[in-house]
Amino acid sequence: MQYWQYIVRRLLGVLVSLVGLSIIIFAVSRILPGNPARMALGPLATDEQVEAFAADMGIDQPVWMQYIQYMQGLLTGDLGMSLETRNQVLDDIIRHLPATIELITVAISFTIVLGIGLGILAAQHKDGHIDNATRMLAFATVSIPGFFLGILFQLIFGWFLGIMPITGRISREFRDEVTRETGFMLIDTLLSGSLAAHFDAWMHILLPALALSAAGIGQIMRITRSTMIDVQRKDYIEAERGFGLPNWLVVYKYTLKNAFVPVLTILGLLYASLLGNAFLIELVFNWPGLAEYGVNAVLSNDFNAVVGVVMTIGIAFVTVNFVVDLLLGRVDPRIQLERSGLT
């Protein structure tokens, strides 16, 4: 099988996954208890008003017809109108999504730097004190829920020490200085030319990003350590050391590169899963991202918004996995050759 054929098959798999996800979440959203039209209009609305609103929204039709209409709109970028905000769901998602993407991007950066760095350090000191300490740290970060760490960080750094902000994306005194250009606060503060506001934005994002990245740091640390140790036992690594190559060159150019394939796979899965895991962290830190919008949509039975949020997470998940799958062929040419039928 040629490599381009493999890409086409993966794309078809992505489409099938998204269609299956849309069917499941659409069906679940329609069987939630409560009348969404009644919840949108409130208890004082008359039955005639509720029926008219339901007809206007198309939710009085059979479920299969609603699904067909929804998929037709989805293909044109129309996710329907939110029953809660009365805005287009796509507009609401575009407004809330940058805050979540910014948070998980900083979190995955912490995961890469700390997870891989500590994993390499542990592998270089196998069974020593540093290795034991990093394994205990990895066990703790994987075991403790992220939202609990977030609350702990708020108590320590916000309440007792009083050195870090614990809610929001930026302090009130800087809000008028920052204009919304991209939706990413770290970028908008730079575009606004305020270094003080940029520093304040970093102070706001550090605690939630660390809490969100903790579990991923532990996973990447353990995987990096184990794969590095396995690669270090290979004959060609021993031969390179025998040739007198510097230890840093052997570790970072030859050992880490060959050990990076499983790490890259897990990093891709982590980045996509952080979209869902960020919900509790955003609620703890009052972070105005996709979680706030999604939770309000569930509580108000706003099924268009619920389906839109879940589909956004699903699209992000399969897209990241697809990109990671392509990157693996670049990192390890053996994978590309195997898929192309040349090995």
pLDDT of the chain along its 343 residues, tens only? 566 666 777 778 778 887 887 777 777 766 666 666 666 666 666 777 777 766 766 666 777 777 777 777 777 777 777 877 778 888 888 888 899 999 999 999 999 999 888 888 888 888 888 888 888 888 888 888 888 889 999 999 988 888 889 888 888 888 878 877 788 888 988 888 888 888 999 999 999 999 999 888 988 888 888 888 887 777 777 777 777 777 777 777 767 777 777 787 788 778 877 877 788 888 889 888 887 788 878 777 777 788 888 888 888 888 887 777 777 666 665 555 555 554 4
**pTM, entire model:** 0.79
The tokens 């840093």 sit on which residue? 248
The reply to whether 59 falls in a domain is no
The reply to whether 315 falls in a domain is no
3-state secondary structure of 81: strand
What is the C-alpha to C-alpha distance for residues 174 and 245, in angstroms, rounded to an integer? 52
Contact indicator for 269, 98 with CB cutoff of 8 Å? no
The reply to whether 260 falls in a domain is yes
Parent domain of 145: 89-290
Q: Specify the long-range contacts of residues 10-19, CB closer than 8 Å, at least 24 apart.
A: 10/322, 10/325, 11/322, 14/318, 14/319, 14/322, 17/314, 17/318, 18/311, 18/314, 18/315, 18/318
Q: Specify the long-range contacts of residues 69-74, CB closer than 8 Å, at least 24 apart.
A: 70/22, 70/26, 70/307, 71/22, 74/22, 74/311
What is the C-alpha to C-alpha distance for residues 337 and 343, in angstroms, rounded to an integer? 6
| Nearest partner of 9 among 331, 333, 332, 326, judged by Cα | 326
Counted domains in the chain? 1
Tokens of 280: 């509790």
The CATH number of residue 138's host domain is 1.10.3720.10
The reply to whether 322 falls in a domain is no
Contact indicator for 284, 151 with CB cutoff of 8 Å? yes
The reply to whether 102 falls in a domain is yes
The reply to whether 3 falls in a domain is no
The reply to whether 252 falls in a domain is yes
The reply to whether 176 falls in a domain is yes
Tell me, what amino acid is at 64?
W
